Copies of this chain bind each other. A is one copy, B any other.
Amino acid sequence: MNLAAETDLKAPWLDAIKWNEDGLVPVITQDYLSGRVLTHAWLNKEALALAQQEGRAVYWSRSRAKLWRKGEESGFIQKLHATYLDCDGDTVCFMVEQIGGIACHTGRESCFYRKLEDEQWHNVDPVLKDPKAIYAK
């Protein structure tokens, strides 16, 4: 976090968003070429301002209660191509270039790899890289 981003937190485009009671909004992240939905995550003002400033997806991790620069451990960052807001002003959509072609911590292209068929969830996408290799120090 730096001074520039702190200043930006008062910008009108950020105030146009209806942040929830926790100061967050959901964000859908989509591959800008294939249209594949990669992830569903959350933003606070700081994360969204930093994402614009740095040109990459930055989220708010609810479980870790901290900023999450996507790819900071795996290297699979998401270059930000465009940012959209919905009619209600309470959901954001990021169009990104997924570096490495892997968005999911399971080593798959997308987090949405389970498909409902015959009342069961089926893993329909291959693991492209072993997570142990992705997250090895």
Interface size, A (range): 35 or more
CA distance A127 to B121 in the complex (A): 37
* A11 CB within 8 Å of chain B: yes
Q: Which residues of B contact A99 (CB under 8 A)?
A: none
The reply to whether A40 and B26 form a contact with Cβ atoms under 8 Å apart is yes
Partner of A106, one of B11, B16, B87, B112: B87
The reply to whether A111 and B88 form a contact with Cβ atoms under 8 Å apart is yes
Q: What is the count of identical protomers in the complex?
A: 2
CA distance A121 to B48 in the complex (A): 14
For window 84-110 of A, CB contacts with B under 8 Å fall at 84-88, 91, 93, 104-106, 108
* A76 CB within 8 Å of chain B: no
Q: Which residues of B contact A13 (CB under 8 A)?
A: 116, 119-121
* A129 CB within 8 Å of chain B: no
CA distance A120 to B87 in the complex (A): 15
| A70, chain B: closest CB distance, angstroms | 14
The reply to whether A84 and B114 form a contact with Cβ atoms under 8 Å apart is yes
CA distance A34 to B37 in the complex (A): 12
Across the A-B interface, the 9 shortest Cβ-Cβ residue pairs: A35-B35, A40-B91, A86-B111, A84-B112, A83-B116, A85-B114, A87-B111, A93-B112, A13-B119
